[in-house]
A and B are shown apart, each in its own frame.
Chain A
């Protein structure tokens, strides 16, 4: 036998360890279990993709300065809710995005556990189809874990990386979702077959003593079934119960920061589960005045609001602003991190400010903070948002002046506006 033939023979044999089929011993693994976990993941991933896209578009990325994503190459706005919708709409979609993301983690980990033998298949590449599929699986698994990891760390204000979170989470989602759609399309026949052969839910009837490895079906998906199964220590419904229990724990420990009220006390692990006092300014702060570099001089008696449209400009004192018609609305601040808070805001309508300087009907408004630097020191409101009577330059909250941490002397707020666009310590409003 020539050396080359010998080598070929050797390479056909899997190396010891996880590359040998008998290494994987769980009797639960099999195409049916993976199909069920995948079927449960499918709607959750779709909800996250949809709410993620809604969130991206809620920032009005098409308006100047609103998006860190290069607009020349972006796909354009797909889903934008009318400004007339309830003020909590962004808090709802983004709270859903974050909460669904968190409760999906146990399911994702179970799904990855169920298919781990496939990572060590031998030979590592069987055909051109297998090679291209494995490449897409790298994007699928890497993309899923990247999206979940960056999202989870972002809601905790923890940024151990150097890239821009928004850009990376957005394009990471494109990589993940395209690999996800490939996967769903390619694996659908396997799922249909598994359900047809074993029933959609029938294997969940087995208690521990009835739990056996799935029968082989003579297809490639059999690779998931243990060839040397260990005795079961958990039934399939037990595994599902474990995943459900983990998801439920995550839900209870978090949902209060999105819904608020008494539930916030239950949100024991939510980054914004903190319960404040009962004062009018006692609610969640994102970036304190100190952190934003706001000094007493910047917001003291010398503060003026510059309002501009075209060639017309005027500077208003706070007394002049409070002398204008005041309007009060209950508006929700919804943060991209998933938490939200609804308060009663009083101030001048953005539309009234626009009229003051003779801005046209379709004008957008760019609000600029006096804060010396940092992210989100300005935001541009779409013309539809400017016209909405609930869009305010807020001066007071819950009947008293804004506290410095909530944006004194003036902050922008409007229905469905993402939290970071509710710019605080505003020094300038430009209508264009």
Chain B
């Protein structure tokens, strides 16, 4: 039986993995020396699980629900509107995902002790950016419809 048949890939695949995983193991061993390594491991695994099994399914389902509710294209509007809603909604949602500690407030105590100021205006700024994104997208849509 050839190596390829028994292992499932060429020897380079195995060598690269052994070297790479050995380096990763060094870092893991160093982390295990930390007092709070269980918390670290939980965060590491939760990051992958929350993305793959929560975030991605949630935005996929939201997209499906939204598209199911779109009116079918009328003859007057040959320009599909779907991406003119999707794009600003996705970007706005991503900004909220990244900046929720400042926008929604859980970062408040840490931020105050670091800067001496309460993080104010982030919710307003996020809403302003969201409005600007939707307005910009609507303007592009209007131009596209008009040019038809």
Chain A interface residues (CB < 8 Å from chain B): 69-70, 73, 102, 105-106, 109, 112-113, 116, 119, 126-130, 132-133, 135-136, 138-139, 141-143, 145-146, 149-150, 152-153, 156-164, 167-168, 171-172, 174-175, 178-179, 181-182, 185-186, 208, 233-234, 238, 242, 245-246, 249-250, 253, 268-269, 271-272, 274, 284-288, 290-291, 405
- B111 in the interface (beta carbon within 8 A): yes
CB distance from B61 to the nearest CB of A (A): 12
Query: B94 and A141: CB pair below 8 A?
Result: no
Question: Which residues of A have CB within 8 Å of B82?
Answer: 233-234
Query: B116 and A290: CB pair below 8 A?
Result: yes
Chain B interface residues (CB < 8 Å from chain A): 6-9, 12-14, 16-17, 20-21, 23-24, 26-28, 30-31, 33-34, 36-37, 39-40, 43-45, 47-48, 50-52, 56, 67, 80, 82-83, 86-87, 90-91, 94-95, 98-99, 101-103, 106-107, 110-117, 119, 122, 125-126, 128-129, 133
Question: Which residues of A have CB within 8 Å of B14?
Answer: 129, 132
Checking B47, B52, B111, B117 against A116 with a beta-carbon cut-off of 8 angstroms, the contacting residue is: B52
Closest B residue to A208 by beta carbon equals B80
Q: List 18 A-B contacts (CB under 8 A).
A: A73-B33, A113-B56, A133-B17, A157-B111, A163-B40, A171-B30, A174-B30, A178-B27, A179-B20, A182-B16, A186-B16, A249-B129, A268-B128, A269-B122, A269-B126, A272-B115, A285-B116, A291-B112
Query: A158 and B106: CB pair below 8 A?
Result: yes
Checking B23, B52, B91 against A178 with a beta-carbon cut-off of 8 angstroms, the contacting residue is: B23
Query: Which 6 residue pairs of A and B lie closest in terms of their CB atoms, listed nearest first?
Result: A127-B8, A129-B8, A174-B27, A145-B47, A288-B116, A182-B20
Q: How far is it, in angstroms, between the C-alpha of A234 and the C-alpha of B67 when the chains are bound?
A: 12
Q: Is the interface of B mostly helix, strand, loop or mixed?
A: helix
Given A145-B48, A160-B106, A129 contacting B9 (CB threshold 8 A): yes
Closest A residue to B101 by beta carbon equals A158
Given A185-B16, A269-B129, A287-B114, A175 contacting B27 (CB threshold 8 A): yes
Question: Which residues of A have CB within 8 Å of B13?
Answer: 129, 133, 186
Closest A residue to B5 by beta carbon equals A127
Given A163-B36, A185-B16, A288 contacting B43 (CB threshold 8 A): no
Given A109-B94, A128-B8, A171-B31, 17 other A-B contacts at CB below 8 A? A102-B98, A112-B56, A116-B52, A129-B13, A132-B21, A136-B24, A141-B52, A150-B43, A157-B113, A157-B115, A174-B24, A186-B16, A242-B86, A246-B90, A246-B94, A253-B129, A285-B116
Q: Is the interface of A mostly helix, strand, loop or mixed?
A: helix
Q: How far is it, in angstroms, between the C-alpha of A89 and the C-alpha of B20 when the chains are bound?
A: 31
Query: B94 and A156: CB pair below 8 A?
Result: no
Checking B23, B31, B80, B110 against A167 with a beta-carbon cut-off of 8 angstroms, the contacting residue is: B31
Query: B47 and A233: CB pair below 8 A?
Result: no
